[in-house]
């Protein structure tokens, strides 16, 4: 359900809404007095009863029966954000998401958010950025996720969702950006959550075509015959073990005038990964519907770009395949040739994502962009190295890496840069019979995978590889993330592109 977002007056005496959500730093408790009588004393009493001091993750709600004499608001939600000295943009996202989740549980459809800290943010955080974060958090918290359950009479929450969100003191520009960023991430989440029997390479291509038609983008889909004719033997080989053939998807956003830059985004689109002949164990095969998350992130980004209309030319490329172990599957010891002519010796068929990306990076390089960013659930080694809440960042450009890292602080999408300059480690992907080996083994696996990808990026192009394995799916709700696919990476791509 789409949520309409509107600016609201910054003055508390003018607030009118079904529900009021308030986010407060520890130093801002006295701001409740601005709500006046009779609401201010009621909230002060409720805060005391709940021992609310504004600490992070503290929250309470207060229903307001008509007998209390508060005619403009029927329910109030208050969320703490901790000390303002430790504020980040995620402080507002987390608080707004918590409020939105509580409001949805109470079947609230209209919510007004008031955050004194967003109107007067701490040093170093722009006012508009904080307001935008409030919208993102509320809409992401409102998202009910992907469900294929039949409707039940005992489902208390049913299809409850916000219909209208207002933000006190927000500008149209900031609120619109927050809404578009959140909607793009939600698009990516829902698509990534769909299982392999509902989204295979052919259907993913159809979804991309539908997105292009809806948003005014160009879209070209190359079938398996065209993929082979273009010399993309890596993508073709990974997909040939499935009865559903691979596809190469190419979306293009062009601005109204002359573009300042040409950029390429590349997404890994494995709609299901069994591991191929190096088949995964049962535990590791579960959630492999999410191995297309990089592609979903790139498609969600294109949705928002088409609506934001930046003066950039952006190409989105997805190698879509299903890695399956039938009699036609590619094998360990096979040697395949990528689009740029380099040969790849297959050590492990479960290192398939980099083999598909190799060809797509070659295709992207031939477009001669100034920058390529690829997004992929590439390695379990990255999860071992960084845990489940930080993504891996690799780049041949210090400036691009620093830009991504800085923007990640704004979006709350954590990245940590890992090295590409260890020549001893690079020897692990050396092959005696081919130009490169597709797996360097367990140790330093995220790094050797990135080194492999770098072999297929043309000289002179700034390139970054975002390994989102681990952060692409959460087993339990966390902040403004629900259970399942996260859409992690959409907002960082959008912020990086907007900053160019």
Instruction: Give residue limits of the domains in the chain.
Output: 4-142, 184-499
d(CA 88, CA 414): 12
**Given the residues 56, 144, 280, 409, the one annotated as active site:** 280
Classify each residue of 63-72 as buried b or exposed e, where b means 16 or more C-beta atoms within 10 Å of its C-beta: ebeeeeebee
Residue 2 predicted with pLDDT over 90: no
CB-based contacts of 211, cutoff 8 Å, min separation 6: 217, 219, 251, 299, 302, 303
For residue range 312-335, list pLDDT tens digits in order: 999 999 999 999 999 999 999 999
Active-site residue, 75 included:
no
Q: Does domain 4-142 have CATH number 3.40.220.10?
A: yes
- For the chain, the average pLDDT equals 95
Q: Which two tokens stand for residue 202?
A: 């052919």
**Given the residues 75, 354, 407, 491, the one annotated as active site:** 354
For residue range 134-186, list pLDDT tens digits in order: 999 999 999 988 878 887 665 555 567 899 999 999 999 999 999 999 999 99
Cα 19 from chain centre: 29
CATH class entry, domain 184-499: alpha beta
> Can 4-142 and 184-499 be said to share one CATH topology?
no
For residue range 290-315, list pLDDT tens digits in order: 999 999 999 999 999 999 999 999 99
For residue range 106-141, list pLDDT tens digits in order: 999 999 999 999 988 998 898 899 999 999 999 999
Residue 393 predicted with pLDDT over 90: yes
Q: What is the pLDDT of residue 13?
A: 85
Q: What is the pLDDT of residue 72?
A: 82
d(CA 12, CA 168): 8
Q: Which residue has the tokens 């696996």?
A: 445
Q: Which residue has the tokens 């360097």?
A: 440
Active-site residue, 292 included:
no
3-state class of 191 per DSSP? helix
Burial class (CB in 10 A: 0-12, 13-18, 19+), 135: buried
pTM of this structure: 0.96
CB 360 within 8 A of CB 266: yes
Q: What is the pLDDT of residue 156?
A: 56
């Amino acid at each position: 359900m789409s949520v309409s977002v509107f600016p609201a007056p910054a003055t508390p005496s003018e607030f009118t809404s079904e529900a009021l959500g308030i986010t407060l730093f520890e130093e801002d408790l006295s701001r409740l007095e601005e709500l006046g009588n009779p609401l201010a004393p009621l909230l002060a009493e409720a805060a005391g009863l709940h021992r609310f001091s504004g600490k992070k993750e503290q929250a309470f709600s207060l229903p307001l029966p008509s007998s209390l004499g508060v005619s403009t608001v029927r329910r109030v939600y208050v969320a703490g954000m901790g000390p303002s000295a430790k504020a980040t943009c995620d402080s507002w996202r987390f608080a707004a998401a918590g409020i939105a989740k509580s409001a949805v549980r109470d079947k609230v459809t209209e919510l007004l958010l008031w955050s004194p800290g967003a109107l007067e943010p701490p040093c170093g955080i722009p006012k508009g950025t904080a307001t935008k974060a409030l919208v993102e958090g509320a809409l992401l918290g409102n998202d009910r996720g992907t469900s294929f359950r039949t409707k039940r009479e005992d489902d208390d929450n049913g299809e409850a969702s916000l219909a209208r969100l207002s933000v006190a003191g927000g500008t149209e520009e900031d609120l619109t950006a927050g809404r578009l960023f959140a909607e793009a991430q939600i698009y990516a989440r829902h698509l990534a959550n769909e299982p392999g029997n509902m989204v295979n390479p052919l259907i993913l291509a159809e979804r991309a075509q539908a997105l292009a038609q809806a948003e005014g983008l160009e879209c070209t889909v190359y079938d398996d015959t065209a993929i082979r004719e273009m010399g993309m033997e890596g993508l073709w080989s990974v997909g040939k073990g499935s009865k559903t053939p691979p596809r190469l998807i190419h979306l293009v956003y062009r601005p109204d005038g002359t573009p300042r830059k040409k950029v390429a985004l590349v997404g890994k689109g494995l709609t299901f990964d069994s591991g191929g002949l190096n088949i995964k164990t049962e535990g590791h095969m579960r959630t492999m519907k999410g191995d297309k998350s990089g592609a979903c992130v790139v498609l969600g980004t294109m949705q928002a770009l088409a609506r934001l209309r930046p003066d950039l030319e952006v190409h989105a490329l997805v190698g879509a395949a299903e890695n399956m172990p039938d009699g036609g599957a590619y094998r360990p010891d096979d040697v395949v040739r990528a689009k740029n002519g380099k040969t790849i010796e297959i050590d492990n068929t479960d290192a398939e994502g980099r083999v598909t990306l190799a060809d797509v990076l070659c295709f992207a390089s031939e477009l001669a962009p100034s920058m390529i960013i690829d997004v992929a659930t590439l390695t379990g080694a990255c999860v071992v190295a960084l845990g489940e809440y930080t993504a891996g960042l690799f780049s041949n450009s210090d400036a691009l890496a620093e830009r991504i890292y800085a923007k990640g602080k704004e979006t709350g999408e954590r990245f940590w840069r890992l090295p590409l300059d260890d020549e001893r480690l690079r020897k692990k992907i050396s092959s005696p019979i081919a130009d490169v080996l597709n797996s360097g083994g367990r140790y330093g696996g995220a790094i050797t995978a990135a080194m492999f990808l770098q072999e297929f990026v043309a000289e002179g192009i700034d390139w970054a590889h975002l390994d989102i394995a681990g952060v692409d799916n959460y087993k339990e709700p966390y902040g403004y993330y629900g259970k399942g696919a996260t859409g992690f990476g959409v907002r960082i791509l959008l912020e990086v592109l907007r900053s160019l």
